[in-house]
Structure 1
């Protein structure tokens, strides 16, 4: 007998994880390069210190204050309709949000669908909840082929459809009419999850799926404080959906899953939302400049509404990745074969990236 007695389908599988290397320029996990100001740090510290006085008690299981603040933050993207606190749910990162959704609406005998290339954790959520996983394919420009998507959904009848917008790793946003069409195709047989982890980085005029919530009770829109809010270390993800979906998640969530400290820190960060989001426009501009520069080098580049850029193609992308690393720049070896992904950093970091890539293109055959 093989030790330990692991589930058979988990044997030999490596855990998820991007390289965490100590290099001068780290542009591989789509973090916001601008940390919180001293004023934000002080407010979070004060809030956490106050929360620490009650750590002998369990946290607020329903975290209503946080849900109210998140609803207020989301409302401007709701297309004129207010997002109510009972429509909001939060957890320890959007990873846990996704896992809870699969626990509640997936499971044995049920199917989850997405369209590749897409976020590499989706099939892992399905695996961990014993949900059957089916991946369709995107068009050559990485958009979702609506006719093919509807045909796949009609064939597979999934209980969960996962649609990242902007998509990771390509940065491609999904138009509202496509979201509506897929919600209608799925109907009451399942839910459609639009993962807007990078939603705040959308280009001007690209709407959020939040505006569609009143029209589709099977729609779930997820967000995170990891990216635009510069809160990757906070671990706070959340969703907006029909209140019945939030109620369903309560059945599978762990008791007191959101700590008192996390709730206090997230509330403090939301109080400083304008400041924390103040660099989003800078990052958008840097992203667009990076797309233009990469194309000027003769490379293929996917249009991006996120804080990263997918580019290629390379006969040996690992050699390119390694050469950049040798020059002190860490990016991500992910996505379709031959492609690489670079997170958008500060102006100085992106200058280092351009310099390193220029040398790499000259040094490699």
Structure 2
């Protein structure tokens, strides 16, 4: 869920009832009604972020904790870290973040699922100055782009830089969301039919160099998968290959086949950005890690600053934040808010309607925005 302000988070919390069975049991450990009210307020924020009630949180961590420790994904700890990152982006104080985190940990511990402390971000003593997002201009983005040889990572960088989307909005995209226009129209329209927690129908756009990078990535990904499939078929056809290896190869081929249609192109349902295997969806957390890895290979963010910061200054939110601040001198704020998927007031909606259709917005982007986000 992509949340852009404290007010938005506060509004979302109203939709979540803490007093399910697990929530009520937890609240009853506190004596005064005032304390219960404070605990409710803290925990509801996390419920809104996870889009779950208290019972579902426990079901989720119970599922995550099944099996041997070595096989655990520690999904809950990752989600809590993402929540900490969100609170920091929304300018919550270190004290507020620490108390909210304390309540979350107390909730899980009460239900016999203590969180793994070493896997949680440390927020005590954090200062706002060291966790500000990095300022990005064309030169810095070019440095980042040239610092990686990965076609996927290059496409990802320009996608974040040119569309104004958060990591969740990038992660959820499928090949079908861009397939019909890719190589046919420029700027490329990415049409969002609304998001969880919103009912907003909006679109954004990708510029010419972003399109080129995306085409290169998708072509390379497709070719690598087809090459891998040929190699696996050779294993199956080897007379001296053992049966277990052949069965494993067949299973891998089936997995590769699942992303292709009958014409040999990527299916519409295939994730737009995938993990290294070219099949599985690239999750929001992985997008953050990719940016951190790239940052360490450039001098855009110094190693000292990266080491000192609790949260990467070059995180995906930095691209989203800079999209807004970079375009503000040149473009109507209503257009920027629309492209980012924010709610618009009556005046803003009227302004967007005056521009016209989404096709008219494509022309507006080409004439007024693309030059400021092209590298």
Bucket of the pairwise TM-score, normalised by the shorter protein:
under 0.3
More strand by share: 1
Which structure has the greater CA radius of gyration? Answer: 2
TM-score normalised per structure 2: 0.25
Q: Which has the higher helix share?
A: 2
| More relative contact order, 1 or 2 (CA 8 Å, 6+ apart) | 1
